[in-house]
Amino acid sequence: MSIPQTQAAAQLQTDFLSASDAARLVMRTGITQVLRLMSEAIEADFMRWQDFDKSARTAAHSASGVIELMPVADAQDYAFKYVNGHPHNPQRGLPTVMAFGALADVATGMPRFVSELTLTTALRTAATSAMAAKHLARKDSRSMALIGNGSQSEFQALAFMELLGVRELRLFDIDPAASQKLLRNLQPFLAQFSARVSIAASAADAVKDADIVTTATADKTRATIIQAPLLQSGMHLNAVGGDCPGKTELAAAVLHRASVFVEYEPQTRMEGELQQMPTDFAVTELWRVLQKQAPGRTSAEEITLFDSVGFALEDYSALRTMHRLARQAGLLSQIELIPSLPDPKDLFALLMQSHRAQVIQLSGRQTA
Ligand code: NAD
């Protein structure tokens, strides 16, 4: 049975969300509302962890950085993200992290949605960090040290103020201009949270007496920004920046002192702070805490660590959230990614159509 051509053409359209429309969408919806919705979506998808076909991302490393592909699927939707990490890009006028991705129908393979994911990655990373901290940090956590004040930092700060009740932020970056930028960008939000922000003189100064410590630094080195003597009982660490082989932020002794929680263990063993540890070093996957199969924080004194590297499932949740919000806001455009063919077995006809159109155009020009 053949289906009408207009219907066939319509089902071959792919929705598209550009970087500027994603920004418009976030501002129209409200940044903190998007962070909240994304965090809820990520938590709901981690709660059905068993539904997903999961794998560690594939990475292509070079001297200057890494390019990664991150796929995941359930029975309905297939999602993937392309993302890079090039710590010296800002000196070339490019962001360290750039990303795009897609959602496709599992039943047909038809790509339904192609989106920017650079802004969306920052939102979903912060939403995941806050979701993890909600289950692992002390409930009375109010102060956070934020080390590494680049692209991810505003999103981390806002997510922790909105979703965790953080009211005091202490910033540190080896680049003072980055901290000044973060301070400036956070100013419009401080009154609504009755929050205070200050710039610390060192990482140690920022961390002193903090309930939560977030590290979001970018350097392709085995860095040890947080050393064990800086730890205080009851702290929660949210280590975001160490996310590929050879790139860490914490000293190994920090992991020995903490209960360590990860997204997807096979990936974190290669990419996270965990890469420094023996292969039998015990960690807990976060979904097990959410599904109450494993304990999260067990006492007010315990030190907890979320060794975040970024997992494909978070992008699946983020893509679906942005697609839904953009559709409601009328901010999607359509792109012709897949050719529209009167006979789906006659791909060659596409070339013939194009050739005929060129001949008509040319003969029109000659007669004019
Ligand atoms: P960015 O380059 O915009 O900012 C990084 C900042 O870290 C810079 O301002 C730099 O000066 C600072 N920095 C570097 N070394 C430091 C040190 N020793 N002490 C203090 N500050 C230091 O990068 P970004 O987009 O903000 O990303 C930060 C990191 O987070 C990157 O490593 C990135 O790969 C990682 N990341 C992780 C996830 C995840 O899901 N876990 C997601 C996105 C990005």
CA pair distance 42, 83, nearest whole angstrom: 19
State if residue 152 touches ligand 1 by the CB under 6 angstroms criterion: yes
Cα 295 to averaged position of ligand 1 atoms, centre (Å)? 30
* 199 Cβ below 6 A of ligand 1: no
Q: Is the distance from the beta carbon of residue 204 to the nearest atom of ligand 1 less than 6 Å? A: no
219 alpha carbon to ligand 1 midpoint, in Å?
7
Compute the distance from residue 218 Cα to the ligand 1 centre, in Å: 3
Nearest CA to ligand 1 atom 18: 225
> Which of 243, 315, 343, 346 is an active site residue?
243
The distance in angstroms from the start CA to the end CA of the chain is 44
Strand ranges, E, within the chain: 14-17, 58-61, 66-73, 77-85, 99-105, 111-116, 143-147, 168-172, 196-199, 212-215, 222-226, 236-239, 248-250, 259-262, 284-285, 304-307, 333-335
Question: 94 CB under 6 A from ligand 1?
Answer: no
Query: Which ligand 1 atom lies nearest to the CA of residue 96?
Result: 2
What is the value of pTM for the model shown? 0.94
Per-residue model confidence (pLDDT) at position 4: 62
For ligand 1, whether the C-beta of 225 sits within 6 Å is yes
Ligand 1: atom nearest CA of 247 is: 32
Nearest CA to ligand 1 atom 20: 173
Ligand 1 centroid – CA 118 distance (Å): 14
Ligand 1 centroid–CA 173 distance in Å is 10
So what's the pLDDT on residue 3? 61
Contacts of 251 (CB under 8 A, 6+ apart): 224, 226, 227, 228
> If DSSP codes are grouped into helix, strand and coil, which group holds residue 268?
helix
Looking at this protein, which amino acid is placed at residue 80?
Answer: F
pLDDT at 214: 98
331 vs 18: CA distance, rounded Å: 9
Active site residue 346: no
C-alpha of residue 150 to centroid of ligand 1, in Å: 6
267 lines ligand 1 (CB under 6 A): no
pLDDT string in tens for the chain (368-residue length): 556 666 666 678 999 999 999 999 999 999 999 999 999 999 999 999 999 999 999 999 999 999 999 999 999 999 999 999 999 999 999 999 999 999 999 999 999 999 999 999 999 999 999 999 999 999 999 999 999 999 999 999 999 999 999 999 999 999 999 999 999 999 999 999 999 999 999 999 999 999 999 999 987 678 889 999 999 999 999 999 998 898 999 999 999 999 999 999 999 999 999 999 999 999 999 999 999 999 999 999 999 999 999 999 999 999 999 999 999 999 999 999 999 998 999 999 999 988 888 888 888 877 76
Beta bridge partners of 199: 171
216 lines ligand 1 (CB under 6 A): yes
For residue 3, count CB atoms less than 10 angstroms from its CB and return exposed for 0-12, middle for 13-18, buried for 19 or more: exposed
Residue 6 has what pLDDT?
63
Q: Counting atoms of ligand 1 from 1, which one is nearest the CA of 125?
A: 40
Cα separation, 247 vs 251, in Å, equals 12
Q: Please state, in angstroms and as integers, the Cα–Cα distance from residue 325 to each residue in 17, 93, 106, 273, 322, following that order.
A: 11, 31, 22, 34, 5
pLDDT tens digit sequence for 262-301:
999 999 999 999 999 999 999 999 999 999 999 999 999 9
